[in-house]
Structure 1
């Protein structure tokens, strides 16, 4: 799979786009979007808001609505973005552009799946099957990892003269996604042979493939080629990627060369670049460089967001400097930033991994005393620390605390090995009611699995209760009655 640094670089690109103004009708967009923004639940319809806007006599241009759709997409509210896009199409208030069709295709792929995407594309008129529509379809195929369909469509687009660097980049990403790293350089070579100039992202993808294959010589040669392209030029992200691979290869001197180039190339006002550099120096254990960059970041960037504190705190924990981590956490608490529990969770992890789990629990309880609402993951971090210290009683209690605040993060999923350890202990040390309550709590966040069923079966057999309904539920959930469970079930008959 593509390296973490590469994935981060793509996320950072998206971040840069988010910093741009969406459109010129900012004031109108904000007025309407201020009504849509609070509707965070994707099941809530945005159509009534749009209808009311018109009924109040307000204007709603294509550009205005496109701004809102783009904002919803950037916030990953794909259901509502698709609804707004379809509403725009159905109302006939404005001409639907090729870009609008492409956006709708992309959203259908994310929300409804590939069959719906292909159906939408086939139903487009020949006039609307533009380069952008084909490109959006290709993007959907790549996202689903469909190699054959992607290559077939790519060839068709070539024949129609519809390809650009974006399409070649998509195919290279497809090979990275499918772990066919060795095929990426050949796509770049074919791209150049076809007379399509690679862009900076093209080079980054290929640099990443060489790095993943540990072909550092080819990686460095490609970076040199990139530097020589006047239409591309090198960028700090490419240098960051190369430095990362030299760090992984334990080639410290080489890594330092490219970290210096990365710092020289990046804008001194770019907080994301500082985050990359600080992370790399943490991997090298270079606290002095980390602190120097953090100081520069605070001088040159207007404000340190939670993202910056998370990076720096995580790096301090990585090098084992908990004292400095504690100081920085106090600074964050006074920063006025939104209280995001992901920030203090980093110190909780640092304490727990170093056997200071009691200190971590004391810290968490002090935050609760200050009326801060912890996430379930905060308690799970401490539960894992207690499991590591074999204090299963405390681990069990902390995991129950996590379940009690699960509503704070509906997307939270406890780690399977943590749950398995706690369930195994609870089965041998708690009564049936407690185990059933614990399993029922777990069911609110994860599907019933083998360990949960095994725990219940053990308890039922021990208490002399029938297990037929449990076994029936297992069959419904397609969980196999394996040898261990079979022996436990059969033991009740002996």
Structure 2
């Protein structure tokens, strides 16, 4: 990743190729115990790296990393609905209502369907701006900004100023915070552009960093880079480039993220824990072997581990089912004087459950119950995963009197996973009646439950209730609809919904919606439609994903059709097959040798 002359994370660099033995162990799955080479204080990082000289404190040993990745939610959609949803939404859904609510529930893009956790460096807030959450929102101006037609924001702002209204930095901070929190990035960018053009705000380093991030989100990384090049040199700061790095990380753009990181080093910016946190997050999803390189760089640059970077390493070990390594890192973090946050404990419990270590998982959950006000949202899904319905009910009863929306949603999912449909519906009814800011994403857990239990009629009724409440059908609800129709066997209807969702402006359907559709076509051996969805995913920016290639190859295998040039297509996208995919490639190779083909040579 860093340039070859500096020797960091290039595939031919000295660090990632310290010894051929390291690469060999990753492929063979062998490990080496170096417990005698270091004190117990640093044992937790065995399995990430072993230096050639053996003197590194943090990077000892080498164990195998798998590429296990979760599948969770992602993006949103926009624009007014049309006939594609009319059957479900009923006559109460109007274009105007949906235009008003167009961006009210946008959520961040995901990497292969997994939630992307980022370092805590919110660029849009200055040190004194974190109080924006508690400040009074300028409701009249905020309403005018969020409801104005796309091309009329300039007129709205001019009218506001001409009426003699003040526009202070505090107001701007609150508005930007509100727009970003609701992921209304298009409006936020328009607002920021107006402030810059009309010189209503003296831009600081953080303002430029936020602006760059918005350009990347709304347009592209290339346009964001062009904007940076036009900035005064004094404002081309580490924070500005870090915002771009963070965006690339959240999107899974590995090559671009590495390019930006290298450029930051070439420009002389110091390596920070924030930048390294971005890389660790990226490599946890895309290439776990490179985590070792980032950790080694942090050691060389004397960058202290943070709770966040420890958490990434713990999660990476857990995903690779290296429970011993995960526990060692956890102990090292505590030895460093860092109190694990609730999300870290939750991750530990999740990996114990996945590994079948029920007793260890229960011990962690009991510890978490000591801080019930923080742990409720995490405890519910874990007890559901352990099939402990009584514990789910017990935790929910403790949380229910003061339950927030996020805890209600966790309870709905937990009861759904236990097939307790009526109890999930009861929680949803409570949330729906008491919640003031219910959007379509809050209908999503119950919609997914109906989809998984093939309850099409109830799913339709739920979407009708959603539209009657005036909620825009965003990508979360759209994903639920797609799954609902797939489960009901109405694949053409599901495809129709996906196609109409993909035509919306500014934002796009979730990656998991495309994958669900592609998986169904793959099972059927429908090569034509599998290729169609594959192409549409590329058009939407979802590229370099192993899973979509796996589904595509499986479609050819199920159709018993030759799969020409697939290896070259993967190579062009920098997708390197794991063992499973390599076996599938061998099966789909039209030129592979078989006993029959060998016999034909002699005929």
TM-score of the aligned structures, taking structure 1 as reference length: 0.68
Aligned match of 1:136: 243
Is 2:225 the partner of 1:123? Answer: no
- The CA deviation string for residues 232-260 of structure 1, in whole angstroms up to 9 with x for no partner, is 32111111111111111111111112222
Cα 1:158/1:329, change in 2 over 3 Å: closer
Preserved CA contact (<8 Å) 1:281 1:290: yes
Alpha-carbon distance in structure 2 between the residues aligned to 1:293 and 1:349: 22
User: Could you list the runs of 5+ residues in structure 2 that have no partner in the other structure?
Assistant: 1-67, 73-110, 526-538, 541-603
Aligned match of 1:84: 191
- Report the Cα offset of residue 396 of structure 1: 8.4
Aligned match of 1:216: 323
SS at match of 1:59: coil
- The CA deviation string for residues 339-386 of structure 1, in whole angstroms up to 9 with x for no partner, is 65666665565466456666x479669969x96789685766664454
Cα 1:192/1:408, change in 2 over 3 Å: closer
Number of equivalent positions: 405
SS at match of 2:117: helix
Cα 1:55/1:353, change in 2 over 3 Å: closer
Is 2:344 the partner of 1:238? Answer: yes
Question: What value does the CA root-mean-square deviation take over the aligned residues?
Answer: 4.4
Preserved CA contact (<8 Å) 1:181 1:213: no
**1:220-299 → structure 2 map (5 Å cutoff):** 220-230=327-337, 232-264=338-370, 266=371, 268-270=372-374, 273-299=375-401
Cα 1:196/1:327, change in 2 over 3 Å: same
SS at match of 1:269: helix
Give 1:55's match in structure 2, choosing from 133, 139, 162. Answer: 162
Alpha-carbon distance in structure 1 between the residues aligned to 2:260 and 2:455: 56
- Report the Cα offset of residue 157 of structure 1: 3.6
- Report the Cα offset of residue 180 of structure 1: 0.7
Cα 1:14/1:351, change in 2 over 3 Å: farther
SS at match of 2:373: coil
Alpha-carbon distance in structure 2 between the residues aligned to 1:128 and 1:249: 49
Preserved CA contact (<8 Å) 1:175 1:184: yes
Aligned match of 2:96: none
- Report the Cα offset of residue 309 of structure 1: 2.7
Give 2:204's match in structure 1, choosing from 97, 103, 109. Answer: 97
Alpha-carbon distance in structure 2 between the residues aligned to 1:33 and 1:372: 22
Preserved CA contact (<8 Å) 2:451 2:459: no
- The CA deviation string for residues 425-450 of structure 1, in whole angstroms up to 9 with x for no partner, is xxxxxxxxxxxxxxxxxxxxx99xxx
Aligned match of 2:214: 107
Alpha-carbon distance in structure 1 between the residues aligned to 2:508 and 2:264: 39
Question: Which of 1 and 2 has higher RCO (CA within 8 Å, sep 6+)?
Answer: 2
Cα 1:379/1:108, change in 2 over 3 Å: closer
Preserved CA contact (<8 Å) 2:121 2:274: no
- Report the Cα offset of residue 98 of structure 1: 0.4
Preserved CA contact (<8 Å) 1:89 1:96: yes
Cα 1:195/1:381, change in 2 over 3 Å: closer
Preserved CA contact (<8 Å) 2:228 2:236: yes
Preserved CA contact (<8 Å) 2:118 2:281: no
Give 2:143's match in structure 1, choosing from 31, 34, 53. Answer: 34
Alpha-carbon distance in structure 1 between the residues aligned to 2:461 and 2:392: 26
Structure showing greater Rg: 1
SS at match of 1:214: coil
User: Could you list the runs of 5+ residues in structure 1 that have no partner in the other structure?
Assistant: 425-445, 448-494
Cα 1:72/1:338, change in 2 over 3 Å: closer
- Report the Cα offset of residue 33 of structure 1: 1.3
Preserved CA contact (<8 Å) 2:118 2:278: no
- The CA deviation string for residues 133-164 of structure 1, in whole angstroms up to 9 with x for no partner, is 23223334434545455445435545624332
TM-score of the aligned structures, taking structure 2 as reference length: 0.57
SS at match of 2:382: helix
Q: Which moved more, 1:140-149 or 1:99-108?
A: 140-149
- Report the Cα offset of residue 57 of structure 1: 0.9
Alpha-carbon distance in structure 1 between the residues aligned to 2:463 and 2:228: 54
